[in-house]
Amino acid sequence: MRIRKNIAVSEEGFLFNPTTGDSFSTNSTGALIIRLLKQDKTLPEIASELCDEYDADRLLVERDLEEFASLLKEYSVLD
């Protein structure tokens, strides 16, 4: 899963799709996920990093991460 090449991404988690003109902003957790996706991390790798960062339950993190990834796909942010 990768961020599309045409998507502009700021360090703060602001995304812009120049093809559609759509823009999105995320919270700090979303910004971290976007940064990790840009590093070509897999969802399981991202889930591990989130669990470590936030001392969170693995199943809850995986569920929320899948939901976030689905939204990014829906908005044509991910390939």
Phi, psi for residue 74 in degrees, rounded to 5: -60, -35
User: In one letter, which amino acid is 5?
Assistant: K
- Distance CA(17)–CA(7), nearest Å, equals 5
Q: What is the pTM of this model?
A: 0.90
Residue 13, phi-psi category: left (phi > 0), alpha (psi -120 to 50), beta (remainder):
left
| Domains in the chain: boundaries | 8-74
pLDDT, tens only, 21-72? 999 999 999 999 999 999 999 999 999 999 999 999 999 999 999 999 999 9
Model pLDDT, residue 60: 97
State the pLDDT at residue 11.
87
